Amino acid sequence: QVQLVESGGGLVQAGGSLRLSCAASGIIFSFDAMGWYRQAPGKQRELVATITRSGSTNYADSVKGRFTISRDNAKNTVYLQMNSLKPEDTAVYYCNARHYSLINKWGQGTQVTVSS
């Protein structure tokens, strides 16, 4: 029943910004951890940023200082504010939500394309 729905992806010029949102439905609790991963063409899926229920964050080195992850526990929604976007940020961005070993869910992904 749990579903993750991403939104906010699109086409943006280098240096621009996008804000991704991921809303979880079908649950009555806040996930222990939520995060964003991305997969570029021909590459493996990689971690972008994660955030725990308590607000502890972790970022990939490639996005530190440019991306900010946040969450609204009451709404079971996680956000990714992406600033100073680069062409190398182009990828499908996937939302992830975990609740210890009980639940590990993925969204269907949202395309982010950054043109030079």
Find out whether 39 and 94 touch, Cβ atoms under 8 Å: yes
Comparing 91 with 1, the larger pLDDT belongs to: 91
Q: Which residue, chain included where needed, has tokens 């991305």?
A: 38
1 confidence band (pLDDT: 50, 70, 90): confident
Q: Where are the beta strands (DSSP E) in the chain?
A: 3-7, 10-13, 18-25, 33-39, 46-52, 57-59, 67-72, 77-82, 91-99, 103-106, 110-115
- Rounded to an integer, the average pLDDT of 42-56 is 96
| Residues 24, 92, 81: CA angle, nearest 5 degrees | 65
| Residue 11 DSSP symbol | E
Which residues are within 8 A (CB) of 102 and not within 5 positions of it... i.e. 6 or more apart?
none
